[in-house]
Amino acid sequence: MCKGLFSLLILFLFYTNVQAQSEYNFSEEENINAKIADVQLNTSDGGMMLSNLYNTSPILVALVFSRCTGICSPFLLQLSDNIRTLNSKEKFKVLVVSFDPIDSLSDLEDMDNRLGLNKKGQWTFATTKQIDALNSSVGFRPIWDSLRKQFDHDALLVGINENGYIAKKLTGLRGISDLKMMIQSIHNEFIPSYPLPRKNNLLSCFTYDPATGKRKPSIGLLILVLPVVLTFGLILWLAIRSKKWRRATNNHLAD
Amino acid sequence: MSAQSLKKTTATWIIVIMTLFITAIIFGILMRLNQGNDYKMSSPGFYATMTTHGLTMIAIWSVAGMVAINYLLTRYIKVPNSLSVFALVFTVIGAAMLWYATFVGQFHAGWTFLYPLPLVKIAWAKWATPLFFFSLVVLGVGWLVWSVGLLVQILKKYSLKQAFAWQHLSKKEPEVKTPPLILISTVSLIGIILSLIVAVILLALTFAEYYSGGAFVNDSLLMKNLIYFFGHTIANESLYLGLAALYELMPEVSSRPKFKTTWYVALAWNCTMVFILTAFFHHLYMDFVQPLGLQMVGQLASYFASLPAAGVTAFSVFVLVFRNHIKWSLTNVLFFIGIMGWLIGGVGALIDATISNNVALHNTLWVPAHFHTYNAMGNVLFCLAFFYWVANEFSGSQTKTKAQQLKTALLLIGGFGFVLMFYLAGADSVPRRFSNYPAEFKSAPLMATLGAVFATIYLIAILLIFIEILRKCVKAFSAS
Ligand code: HEM
């Protein structure tokens, strides 16, 4: 009987086609805390290993290609704007690496001149023959579109700390606050983060008002008290009922 | 209930628990060997083993205490055997489901299942997630029915006030005297019932999210609070059940007068009952969204829940053995070492529960260090002492143990050596729950290997004790 019930339960679980709901996009989590591939770079200062760069200071790695007619230029421009506006006192470098095998160093230098990125000498431009190793170590997957003669790819910025570990990744064009967090992360500062209550999140512990920044206790906290109330109720009920049971036992003994 | 069926059920429980225990220790040794790079496990394999090990251990040592009080309570009250049989069946089915989910389905989110990990991104068979949660339902139902059943039986003889020993707070010699076993069992059973009700709410919310197809999402902070409300509370209350057995048996096997409930014993255990309910907040120190007030409550409750009970118990045991001629058998030796393990682990826990230290020790191997100390060298030994004593009862005599000193020495060296390696690694900031350590943690693999060696010595002691217990338990089935 038990065996039968057990098999039924297993069958039920097998066949209940439940889609575990994916609320979050995990691409920015991929390879976090893993080491970036220590590839040989070709830069205007000559050949060097990537570790030579991050050993001196943490780096932000941007992956682009010079023929890009899409996101690469706006991405680099915004990054440079954000860095300027943020004016962080922390020490870090920006490494722009081309993931297009046919890019040369001069293509990248042209790109820099066109966009006016490296005015303070904080930026390094590089190509590498080991781009596949670099891409896979940071979880970056550009796809060549032979019709458009373009790569289909994300705008990816990878934060590397002084030990060469990927501390944070940002995809897409992002604001100053995200960049600030990335700079904190590559300097090994802890960044607290917490999902804000959403519409389908009915039992949050706090309500948060983004306008005032204030949080108030919410219904979720009551759920924490519920087991105590239920147990208290149950014990109280048992205590009251047990008077009768004891009386019955005593009467039984007296008889 | 017939004494014979009680014996048979208890003997079956002991055999099931010990078999699962030995297997789970082997899993633990394999994990340590993997962390020491002496044996290769895949990462999912390591985490599936860790999940199975953690939950199996928590489960068997929670019920071991229940088995002990279920047997000993029959000295004071009526206890229907059906409750224990019901829980046994549910525990075996629940454990089988759990092992199927972890080893076949490769579910590997850890015993506290790290919400929202199992719901948002699964790196294992899809069916393993609900199977894992259903295994918790089955285990929980079995234990909830058993705990409520035992509490009802206590209340059939003692009023709630008497069960809490409140009459001892005001009078030195009250009319109705509450035996310590009744007091500690009541306090612990209520804690266990509460933690299982928390589990019901936790699982209901988890299933609601899982089956809602995205229409409903839980709050991570609420879920983490509920997970530790359940996990921390049940782990602690189980230990108190082991202590209940100690209060009842240790004086008896030492040929000393029975422990009595005094005002300070009553007060200490009532304090424990109240404060243990909020001590779990110390698991959330790193959750900056949790209000500071609750973090402080967590720290203070951690002290107030443990210190009074530890104080009176240590004092009572000290008075029992100090300058008294004690007949040392394996039973009271195990109780005595268990008290040492409980106190050492408790101090380790309090160090970690202090907010300023937690900043450094959080999620390091210090955490497994302290909970393995008061489990492997505390609660496990309390329950083993009971198993050994009851096995002797089944065989009809409390005979002298063969090679008692060897067993004790192996247990002490193996057990404390094993946890020492966790403490040293924790103090050196080695993180917990890493299948392989990054190169930066230079000493971690060596400490893991040494930990595995000590754990093997501990395993040998357990095997020797089990063989003796098993030989005697079998007699429970043959005697009429
Ligand atoms: C000699 C016996 C034992 C050995 C060798 C052992 C070994 C281990 C190891 C290696 C871990 C993983 C530690 C980490 O890196 O985080 C672990 C975790 C754990 N152990 Fe043990 N253990 C033993 C006994 C026990 C006992 C008696 C309990 C009783 C409750 C227990 C409960 C747990 C729990 C709850 C975890 C955490 C699992 C998780 O994080 O999900 N262990 N044990």
Enumerate the residues of chain A whose CB falls inside 8 A of the CB of residue B201: 223, 226-227
- Residue B228 tokens, joined: 């530790």
At A253, the pLDDT band (50, 70, 90 cuts) reads low
**Nearest-angstrom CA–CA distance, B454 and B417:** 5
CA of A235 from ligand 1 middle (Å) equals 34
B220 pLDDT more than 60 = yes
Give the global pTM: 0.82
Helices (H), B212-291: 220-253, 263-279
Q: Dump pLDDT digits (tens) for A82-133.
A: 999 998 888 999 999 999 999 999 999 999 999 988 777 899 999 999 999 9
Among B41, B57, B227, B412, which residue has the most ligand 1 atoms within 8 Å of its CB, making it the best to mutate?
B57
Considering only CB atoms, which chain A residues are within 8 Å of B123? none
What are the residue ranges spanned by the domains of chain A?
2-20+217-254, 30-196
**Minimum CA distance residue for ligand 1 atom 18:** B54
Is pLDDT of B419 > 90?
Answer: yes
Determine which of A15-24, A70-79, A96-105, A230-239 has the lowest per-residue pLDDT on average: A15-24
* pLDDT average, residue stretch A26-33: 82
Backbone dihedral angles phi then psi of residue B165, each to the nearest 5 degrees: 60, 35
Which residue range forms the structural domain that includes residue B17?
3-477
Phi and psi at residue B290, in whole multiples of 5°? Answer: -70, 130
Condensed to tens digits (0 to 9), the pLDDT of residues B42-53 reads 999 999 999 999
Q: B344: domain CATH number?
A: 1.20.210.10
Tens of pLDDT, residues B60-88 = 999 999 999 999 999 999 999 999 999 99
Above 70 in pLDDT, residue A6?
Answer: no
What token pair was written down for A207? 């309500």
pLDDT at A46: 92
Output the CATH code of domain A30-196.
Answer: 3.40.30.10
CB contact under 8 A, B152 and A238: yes
Give the mean pLDDT of B215-224.
Answer: 90
List the single best residue of A214, A228, A238 to mutate versus B (max B Cβ within 10 A).
A238
Q: What percent of chain A has pLDDT over 90?
A: 63
Kindly provide the ipTM of the predicted complex, given to two decimals: 0.90
A-chain residues near B360 (CB < 8 A): none
Residues having CB within 6 Å of any atom of ligand 1: B 25, 28-29, 31-32, 50-51, 53-54, 57-58, 61, 110-111, 368, 372, 375-376, 380, 418, 432-433, 455, 458
Note the pLDDT tens digit of each residue in B231-275: 999 999 999 999 999 999 999 999 999 999 999 999 999 998 888
Subunit contact B130:A6, Cβ cutoff 8 A: no
Counting the structural domains of chain B, the total is 1
Mutation to probe ligand 1, out of B37, B39, B49, B50 (largest number of atoms < 8 A from CB): B50
Among residues B278, B284, B190, B197, the alpha carbon closest in space to that of B240 is found at B190
DSSP A146-212: TTTTEEE---EEEEE-TTSBEEEEEESS--HHHHHHHHHHHTT------PPP-TT-TT-SEEEETTT
Percent of chain B topping pLDDT 70:
98
